[in-house]
Amino acid sequence: MTDQPNFEQLYRELEEAVHRLETGDLTLDESLALFEQSVRIAEQCNGLLDQAELRVRQLTARPNGGLTADPFAG
């Protein structure tokens, strides 16, 4: 088991941060810190999506039973 948050947890955290930023109840320093944290979370989300895409590419079966790295059609 891993201590790393999953995509859904990170996405909820990102949504929370965006909501807090939109309310405008934070100081400038708090807003900047939360924005920087949000950028890091977004990068983590993108990394997890990239990993998932790679797994999909690796797991695409061909009719003859082989595997192929077909482009992800999202």
Question: Which residue, among 47, 51, 29, 50, has the nearest Cα to 39 in the 3D structure?
Answer: 47
pTM: 0.71
Residue 69 backbone phi and psi in degrees, to 5: -100, 60
| Spatial contact of 70 and 57, defined as CB atoms under 8 Å apart | yes
User: Given the structure tokens 């695409």, which residue do they identify?
Assistant: 60
**Residue 41 contacts by C-beta under 8 Å, 6 or more apart in sequence?**
10, 13, 14, 17
Q: What is the pLDDT of residues 16-71, one digit of tens each?
A: 999 999 998 999 999 999 999 999 999 999 999 998 888 777 666 667 766 666 66
